[in-house]
A = this chain, B = another copy of it.
Amino acid sequence: MNTLRFGIAGLGNMGSIHARAICGGKIPRARLAAVSDPAADLSGYAPDAKVFPSTEEMIRSGEIDAILIATPHFSHTTIGIDALEQGLHVLVEKPISVHKADAERLIAAHTNPRQIFGALFNQRTDPHYTKIRDLIQTGELGEIRRVTWLITNWFRSQAYYNSSGWRATWSGEGGGVLLNQCPHHLDLFQWLFGMPSKVRAHCQFARFHDIEVEDDVTAFCEYPNGMTGTIITSTGEAPGTNRLEIAAERGRLVLEDEKISWKRNDIPTSEFCRTSSSGYATPTTCNIEIPIQGSGEQHNGILNNFVSAVLDGTPLIAPAEEGRHSVELANAMLMSTFLEKRIELPLDGAAYEALLQKKIATSKGNEKLARIPFSPKLTDKFGRPLDKHPSYSQP
């Protein structure tokens, strides 16, 4: 095989971007063979791609080798499982699922190692983050003591939330900023620092918008070695901040405004603390500015890596299995708020699913969503027919 035939499920915001990238030659060894979206209009850029009225038919058509799932969140699991069972390679948008139990079901369906199963965590290609990851993994920074990440540059207006009935509802998205905007950073957080052992969070629901779900979050993470992590995110602040601060044995590193600034301690902090005869002195430091060009290949980088994984056996940048962690972090933050307590990880996925089901049962989104056309044969992991769910259009 020299060319990978892609089918894209869902031609909304992200699906369209991927379709145009493939058709525009940005993914050299990929071809857009089909899409499944009742509202698809490919006339402008992909007149040869087949349009299937349902994802199920596209999966079984024999026209595609790989499916890119860019439908609303809840259907990622259902479509992903179906596609894996039918032998396709699968590339799934974030979040891989809405909740941990679903993520585990999806991952469990990936039994054939020759099927490539990736997730669209495009920010893993950003050289700022790959550089920081190198500094951590090579031990250059030394043991990490504290991480504080302000990610409040996700401002969305009320008009954004009004643009579609499924948005920011429990039944449509299964959460707010943690499930829609922030999964990238939750993924990067665990990719850089590993998973915490405990999570305590304070989510505010509908604080800034007329929605059902969380649009403001402050979360505190504990690690077995004492490391602490604070994540603050919101879609209600403007202008927002994206500032990652890492306090480590070898000093303090800050990523902000695309710049990495590292004040490097000449002596590790704990050694200085033990050996200094002065009560107030601090280790001498040097200032290291790390030049970074651009923000990497982003979505196209992930798509090319996926194609290369299928055709050449290249390791994936973002295996879908690793997508379970950002889902678990988001779930733990919501669960901590629902139950008003600290959550120990690993999270009890069934308990979280039960809590989420209660939210969905009273979700205003249910009636809005019923109006959206659907492939009726698939059911979601709550056992509801998918025609109660939005699986296709992201207007």
Contact = CB atoms under 8 A, between A and B. Distances in A.
Interface of A: 145-146, 148, 150, 152, 155-160, 163, 200, 202, 204, 207-209, 216, 218, 220, 222, 226, 228, 230, 232, 234, 236-241, 245, 247, 251-252, 263, 265, 269-270, 272-274, 276-283, 285, 340, 342
Contacts of A157: 272-274, 276-281
Nearest to A248: B237
A247 B252 contact: no
Contact of A204 (B226, B241, B283): B226
A342 B342 contact: no
Contacts of A152: 146, 247
A237 B220 contact: no
A341 to B, nearest CB: 8
A204 B247 CA distance: 16
A276 B161 CA distance: 12
18 contacts: A146-B216, A155-B273, A155-B280, A157-B273, A157-B274, A157-B276, A157-B278, A157-B279, A158-B273, A158-B276, A159-B276, A202-B222, A202-B228, A204-B228, A208-B270, A238-B265, A239-B265, A240-B252
A-side binding surface: helix, strand, loop or mixed? mixed
Given A148-B232, A150-B245, A230-B230, A280 B237 contact: no
A265 B240 CA distance: 11
Given A204-B226, A279-B159, A279-B163, A238 B269 contact: yes
Given A145-B236, A239-B252, A279-B156, A218 B220 contact: yes
A125 to B, nearest CB: 22
A127 to B, nearest CB: 24
A177 to B, nearest CB: 14
Contacts of A247: 152, 234, 237, 241
A163 B272 CA distance: 16
What is the copy number of this chain in the assembly? 2
Contacts of A155: 269, 273, 280, 282
Nearest to A274: B158
Contacts of A270: 208
Contacts of A145: 236-237
A252 B276 contact: no
B218 A285 contact: no
Given A156-B279, A263-B239, A269-B237, A230 B208 contact: no
A88 to B, nearest CB: 32
A146 to B, nearest CB: 7
A160 B274 CA distance: 10
Nearest to A267: B238
Contacts of A238: 251, 265, 269, 272, 282-283
Contact of A245 (B202, B208, B241, B283): B241
Contacts of A273: 155, 157-158, 208-209, 236
